[in-house]
Amino acid sequence: MHKTYQSQPVSHVMWVPLGNVVANSYNPNSVAPAELELLYISIREDGYTQPIVTYYDEERDHYVIVDGFHRYKVMCTYLDIWAATEGHLPIVVIKKTLEERKASTIRHNRARGRHAFSSMSALVLSLSEAGKTDEEICRDLGMEPEELFRLKHTTGFAKLFADKEFSRSWETDKMLQARLNAEKAMNDAKMHESPLITKSFGKT
């Protein structure tokens, strides 16, 4: 193999026992029965054409899924798929920190055009609490600044903005106006205890 390709994970696909692969704990996965059925048919007819992206947990001696949970779920669910590979899954391994793996999971999902809003919010909150700046979060997750700002205002508002200051050089005019409006609304809510505003920001 040409040395140029050696650094690419796909150049090192491994087949490992299903029992050695586990779901991650930070990305709640759910799949509709119809979607799982379609994926099952695809794998049954064409085989596994994409490996599961994983991280090797040395302490627990197993592979944690970064991307590919549904392909893993198919083998867990359908005996004929398990039998076709004698219970082995194709995987690749990436060596990244937990926060980097969370970002990688989102990138994979967004590249396919889907990522649960609640999961995205939880991961953004986690990255923010880990000390990532808004610029770093946008860069790592492939988000536009306005998209991140809207997400922050839609869910987890107080936590995502607590003790955080936007870089004025990075903040767009739209973000600036939205931030000022939000801050005014929050201050008004504290002063007047307006039930409507309190409900809007998820307070009880």
Positions of the chain with pLDDT lower than 70, given as ranges: 1-2, 27-30, 106-122, 141-142, 150-204
Q: What 3-state class would DSSP assign to 201? A: coil
In this predicted structure, what is the pLDDT of residue 196? Answer: 42
In this predicted structure, what is the pLDDT of residue 87? Answer: 96
Q: Domain spans of the chain?
A: 1-95, 116-204
Q: pLDDT tens for residues 119-150?
A: 666 677 777 777 888 888 777 766 777 777 76
DSSP 142: T
**What is the separation of C-alpha 169 from the centre of its chain, rounded to a whole number of angstroms?**
28
Return the residue matching tokens 């967004």: 110
In this predicted structure, what is the pLDDT of residue 29? Answer: 62
DSSP assignment of 45-100 equals: HH---SPEEEEEETTTTEEEEEE-HHHHHHHHH-HHHHHHTTTEEEEEE----HHH
Q: Is 54 exposed, middle or buried (0-12, 13-18, 19+ CB in 10 A)?
A: buried
In this predicted structure, what is the pLDDT of residue 135? Answer: 83
In this predicted structure, what is the pLDDT of residue 201? Answer: 39
Tokens describing residue 165: 């200051």
In this predicted structure, what is the pLDDT of residue 194? Answer: 43
In this predicted structure, what is the pLDDT of residue 128? Answer: 77
d(CA 140, CA 121): 14
Query: Model pTM?
Result: 0.55
Tokens describing residue 157: 């508002």
CB 51 within 8 A of CB 12: no
In this predicted structure, what is the pLDDT of residue 198? Answer: 41
> 1-95 — its CATH code?
3.90.1530.10
CB 93 within 8 A of CB 16: no
Pairing of strands 21-22, 52-57: unpaired
Compute CA distances 171 → 2, 9, 86, 184, whole Å: 44, 36, 54, 18
Q: pLDDT tens for residues 12-22?
A: 999 999 999 99
d(CA 67, CA 52): 6
